[in-house]
Structure 1
Amino acid sequence: MSHNKRAELIRKSLDLFYRNGFHATGMDLVAKETGVSKTSIYKHFRTKEELILAVLRLRDENFRNRLFRRMEEISDTAEGQLFALFDALEEWFQQDGFQGCMFIKASAEYQEREHPINAQALEHKRLLLEHFTQLATAAEYENPRALACQILVLKEGAIVLAAMSHSCDPANDARKAAKVLLSHYPKTNEDRS
């Protein structure tokens, strides 16, 4: 299998796992839906879990690139991008085929802390947290990591509720909560006299 065919297999598998879940999607279905024989799949991925890990890496890269780019398009300031996160989420929630977070689903299906799929899902959240921490630092908030953790909780909660309710409202609710949070969060350059 060429590099391009391998990449296409991962991309098609991503759509399949996102739509159907990980445990519910067997390798027979992967072969049928992707047009790649099981023999060829297993030449490149020794196990279904190896394919899932490749899928999660692709999803992470695509999701973060798209999210961060959209946040930068909406606002050119670090503080503005923290708010733009929720605008970008709302746009995502409105897309046909939105079914929640693939990483939350992965961690729910592979709950053991040491399982590589659970660890890959957590790594995605860690990378988001790092980006939000960088934005909070650039916006000169005190304790930027703690603020980033709170922003991440708002983001994750909005995703879960949007998927469950089939509504975009959680993005707006999270945006309002973020506005309250940021308006009361101290900045390093504030005068305390």
Structure 2
Amino acid sequence: MTAVDGDEGRTRVLEAAEELFYEYGIHAVRMTQVRDQAGVSLARLYKLYPSKHHLVAAYLRAHGRRLRAALSESVERSAPAPADSRTRLLAAFDHMQETITAPGFRGCAFVNAWAELGGPGHERHPLVAEAVQEHKALLRAYLTGLAGDFADARGVGEQIHILIEGAMVTSSILGADAARPARDGACAALTAAER
């Protein structure tokens, strides 16, 4: 293996981890597989990430930053400010629909990680649980920010967040079409909030 500097090695490891963990699951992937795909030595891998849990948390944080940036860019492209909150929140829903119909969609990486390592009754690991909860809180805060035109922006943001989360989980089990009624639910919730 060729020597790789810190930033390049970190990037390659995170890209390999994301691809492998999302495709096969966290428990199924060994650190040696990440090493091989990233093209770094095992010593370098463990220097960057002292444990698999550290790597999983780092992968989730990097993945979350990319997802939130893509969501924000999509909303700004579809419903640029000063579009009203309803239009912007529905643009967020449309982005979610694009995400779940994209090739290779295997559900929410954060829900998948929580099921394997974050939640009660499982091999709970605080680093992973914290990374999952952090992403969900940041997503909810972003949606609440989009809901600023509503009197109860926090309540509306939380409702839309729950509908998006439920649609993603349902679509990963039943297929992308199963998420379509959630947008209708969002429209109804937004109409009710406008009264």
What TM-score do the two structures reach when normalised by structure 1? 0.89
List alignment gaps of at least 5 residues for structure 1: 188-193
Give me the whole-angstrom Cα distance separating, in 1, the residues matched to 2:131 and 2:111: 11
How much does 1:130 deviate?
Answer: 0.6
8 A contact 1:86–1:172 mirrored in 2 = no
- In the alignment, does 2:133 pair up with 1:122? yes
C-alpha root-mean-square deviation of aligned residues, in Å? 1.6
Give me the whole-angstrom Cα distance separating, in 2, the residues matched to 1:87 and 1:186: 20
How much does 1:90 deviate?
Answer: 1.3
Give me the whole-angstrom Cα distance separating, in 2, the residues matched to 1:82 and 1:46: 40
Post-superposition Cα deviations, 1:7-59, rounded to whole Å, max 9, x if no partner, equal 12111211111111111111122122222221220121111111111101110
Report matched runs for 1:50-61 at 5 Å.
50-61=54-65
Count of aligned pairs between the two proteins: 184
How much does 1:94 deviate?
Answer: 1.6
Post-superposition Cα deviations, 1:65-105, rounded to whole Å, max 9, x if no partner, equal 00111122111223211011121111111211111111111
**Which of these residues, 63, 75, 79, is aligned with residue 67 of structure 2?**
63
8 A contact 1:17–1:25 mirrored in 2 = yes
Give me the whole-angstrom Cα distance separating, in 1, the residues matched to 2:181 and 2:88: 17
Percent of aligned pairs with the same amino acid: 32
Runs of 4+ in 1 over 4 A off after TM superposition: none
Cα pair distance change 1:170/1:82, threshold 3 Å: farther
Residue 114 (structure 2) aligns with? 107
- In the alignment, does 2:157 pair up with 1:148? yes
Residue 90 (structure 2) aligns with? 83
Give me the whole-angstrom Cα distance separating, in 2, the residues matched to 1:129 and 1:169: 24
Give me the whole-angstrom Cα distance separating, in 2, the residues matched to 1:170 and 1:153: 15
List alignment gaps of at least 5 residues for structure 2: none
Give me the whole-angstrom Cα distance separating, in 1, the residues matched to 2:51 and 2:33: 15
**Which of these residues, 30, 40, 46, is aligned with residue 42 of structure 1?**
46
Residue 159 (structure 1) aligns with? 168
How much does 1:171 deviate?
Answer: 3.4
8 A contact 1:23–1:109 mirrored in 2 = yes
Q: Which amino acid aligns with 1:134?
A: G
- In the alignment, does 2:179 pair up with 1:171? yes
How much does 1:186 deviate?
Answer: 3.8
What TM-score do the two structures reach when normalised by structure 2? 0.88
